[in-house]
Amino acid sequence: MPQINPDILRWARETAGYSPEEAVERIGLRAARGRSAVERLMALEAGDVDPTRTQLTKISKEYRRPLVTFYMAARPIRGDRGEDYRTLPDARPPAEDARVDALLRDVRARQSMVRALLEDDEVGPHAFVGAFSADSGIKAVVAAMHDILAVDDDAPRKENMPRSDFDALRSAAENAGVFVLLIGNLGSHHTAFDTTVFRGFALADPIAPFIVINDQDARQAWAFTLLHEFAHILIGASGVSGSTRAISGNRRLSKLEMFCNDVASEFLLPTPDLDLLHLSKDMDIAQMITAVSEFSEGRNISSSMVVYRLFRSNKIDRERWLSISRTLREFWLKARTDRRIVSREAAGGPSYYTVKKHRVGAALIALIRRTLKEGTITPTKAGKVLGVKPANVDTLIRDNGRQFV
């Protein structure tokens, strides 16, 4: 019988972001035989005691590692997360990074299976993935986005116009071959990611490019994040992105992150439109916030993005940008809390499958529906790709009530 590697047990816990005290709670380890729960865990990690099959299964689930990992002779090499484009991690707990890594492992595994399905269908690489660089310039990348997403730059400026409507932009990106997922936790609201941890990430695979958006963010910000990550796809730069909202004045975004921000904001709010927002120098912060909010609401875009655009266009200084950004974030957090209270008190709401379909995206559901029908993927793997149990796959992919499995 192969033996459990105790060093892997400790490594898996640490990379999951759990202290010994947190881990024993997660895996349900209790005091026994004169030892505390933590002492029993330390004994497992020292190799003094072997975990039972039930314990190892629970550890595998809570640490988000396959069972086979614990039998390896040495710690596995860390998977490629791409670049970390977020602001400096001075206030980011190590446990949060471990959870982001867990999410990245999960999405990369799903992407790998999707790529295999597409290769079986002889789908070739998308020419736009990695076709540009930051040296190409903002205008060139924005123009390419308009061409790929088939969004008319001369379309009338109206609410819910394709340029700022997330569902329309997502559909256009999926039609172009990019899978766009909404994921804001690791499977439960207890594991939700704050937007200060990550806002989105891009996996710039030439055959199966993926974009993941943290749906804990304001819905009006999703379009910006989608376009920001799409810019990463166009320049072939996989990685985790943060937010334009600064927490403190000493943080700086990387040049590449600023470039993708500028591309997304120019797409959503072209310079001629931005020039329609007039702010006088004698306005105080409250007056500026009112003007920006009214301007953004009429265009269905994020106020934070508008303020960022004003700063990058030298229409306001850095101090005002930071001050307004912090105030807008405080407003948003309060509004989100109020909405959650109302939601808990209200009856009804969309079903689990309706919410899941929206998070997974039409393109991924269509691919799994077709390949299941053709028999090229199993329900187990389909569940892994869709992020649901195999038993729930059929209901999730039903089209107008028809079954395909």
Question: pLDDT tens, 191-223?
Answer: 888 888 889 999 999 999 999 999 998 888 899
Distance of CA 155 to the CA centre of its chain: 29
What is the C-alpha separation between 29 and 63, in angstroms, rounded?
14
Q: Does the pLDDT of residue 154 top 60, yes or no?
A: no
pLDDT grade, residue 144 (50/70/90)? very high
Q: What is the pLDDT of residues 298-350, one digit of tens each?
A: 888 889 899 999 999 999 999 999 999 899 988 888 887 766 655 555 555 68
Q: What is the pLDDT of residues 53-96, one digit of tens each?
A: 999 999 998 888 888 889 888 887 665 556 666 654 445 566 77
Q: Does the pLDDT of residue 231 top 60, yes or no?
A: yes
**Average pLDDT score over residue span 383-401:** 87
What is the C-alpha separation between 321 and 289, in angstroms, rounded?
11
Q: What is the pLDDT of residues 164-199, one digit of tens each?
A: 689 999 999 999 999 999 999 888 777 888 888 889
**Average pLDDT score over residue span 265-274:** 93
pTM of the model: 0.81
pLDDT grade, residue 100 (50/70/90)? confident
Residue 218: per-residue pLDDT: 85
pLDDT grade, residue 405 (50/70/90)? very low
Residue 159: per-residue pLDDT: 41
Q: What is the pLDDT of residues 38-55, one digit of tens each?
A: 999 999 999 999 999 999
Residue 158: per-residue pLDDT: 41
Residue 76: per-residue pLDDT: 73
Residue 18: per-residue pLDDT: 84
Specify whether the CB–CB gap between 194 and 234 falls below 8 A. no
